[in-house]
């Protein structure tokens, strides 16, 4: 009985992410919208997403709570918090130039197709197929670049959004942090935590950079995404060769 209770608790824990999705969306639709609160709530949803998978495997949820598909809950909450809400915020804040509604819609559709792809998670090999819809992070950078660097930042952001939209649909693979091969799993995880710390350091003044060295922090924060993309490309290439 105790094992079943634990297993169903994991499902409830995963589902609790929708509460933070609601709180983030409530902020998005406010007249006096403060994007700092949106990203604060979305960050809490990220913590839940990072913890529920290891808990599910530890407590054998598939065996003891098989009537509920935790994967389905996870996909719904992730689409809301990783894609729909952050991209809606980008549109709401008018951070992209031109037909911003079209750009975010294209990204949303591509992401939805990615979530629906049965081959998207290749856990045994340690990969996601296609860009894994980290649009919450993309939206954070888009806000910083658009506000701090004006039209140049906005067009750089647009180019990045369109590129990542294409990468969501093409058969390139990205490292799955929770299932990355050793020794890379520890490096990706520790690096990701440090990177998150840098991004959170910019949150109190978001979308403006703090006066105490925000440009420097922003520049350093790009090191981890560059490492992640580089590592993903290298591991994908070497695994295909072998």
What would the pLDDT profile of 54-84 be if each residue is shown by its tens digit?
888 888 888 888 888 889 999 999 999 999 9
pLDDT of residue 84: 98
pLDDT digits (tens, 9 = 90+) for 214-224: 899 999 999 99
* pLDDT tens sequence across 124-147: 888 999 999 999 999 999 999 999
Q: Which of 172, 158, 157 is nearest to 119 (CA)?
A: 172
Which pLDDT belongs to residue 125?
A: 85
Q: Given this model, what pLDDT does residue 1 score? A: 56
Task: Give the C-alpha distances (Å, rounded to integers) separating 162 from 107, 110, 127, 166.
Answer: 7, 10, 22, 6
The predicted pLDDT at position 31 comes to 94
Residue 99 phi/psi, 5° resolution? -80, 70
What's the whole-number average pLDDT of the chain?
93
| Three-state secondary structure call for residue 222 | coil
Tokens of 185: 């799993």
Residues 6+ apart with CB under 8 A from 37: 23, 24, 27
Question: What is the helix (H) or strand (E) element at residue 173, kind and residue range?
Answer: strand 173-175
Backbone angles phi, psi at 129, to 5 degrees: -90, 120
Q: Which is higher by pLDDT, 123 or 147? A: 147
pLDDT in tens, 29-51: 999 999 999 999 999 999 999 88
């Amino acid at each position: 009985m105790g094992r079943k209770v634990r297993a169903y608790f994991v499902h409830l824990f995963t589902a609790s992410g929708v509460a933070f999705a609601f709180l983030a969306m409530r902020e998005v639709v406010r007249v006096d919208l403060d994007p700092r609160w949106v990203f604060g709530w979305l960050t809490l949803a990220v913590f839940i997403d990072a913890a529920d998978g290891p808990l599910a495997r530890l407590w054998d949820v598939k065996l003891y709570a098989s009537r509920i598909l935790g994967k389905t809950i996870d996909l719904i909450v992730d689409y809301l918090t990783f894609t729909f809400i952050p991209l809606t915020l980008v549109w709401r804040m008018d951070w992209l130039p031109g037909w911003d509604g079209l750009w975010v819609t294209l990204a949303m559709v591509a992401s939805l197709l990615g979530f629906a792809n049965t081959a998207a998670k290749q856990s045994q090999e340690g990969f996601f197929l296609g860009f894994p819809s980290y649009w919450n992070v993309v939206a954070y950078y888009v806000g910083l670049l658009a506000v701090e660097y004006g039209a140049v930042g906005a067009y750089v952001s647009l180019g990045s959004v369109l590129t990542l939209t294409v990468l969501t649909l093409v058969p390139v693979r990205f490292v799955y942090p929770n299932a990355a091969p050793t020794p890379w799993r520890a490096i990706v995880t520790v690096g990701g935590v440090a990177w998150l710390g840098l991004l959170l350091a910019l949150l109190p003044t978001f979308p403006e950079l703090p006066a105490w060295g925000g440009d420097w922090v922003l520049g350093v924060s790009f090191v981890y995404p560059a490492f992640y993309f580089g590592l993903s490309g290298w591991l994908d290439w070497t695994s295909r060769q072998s």
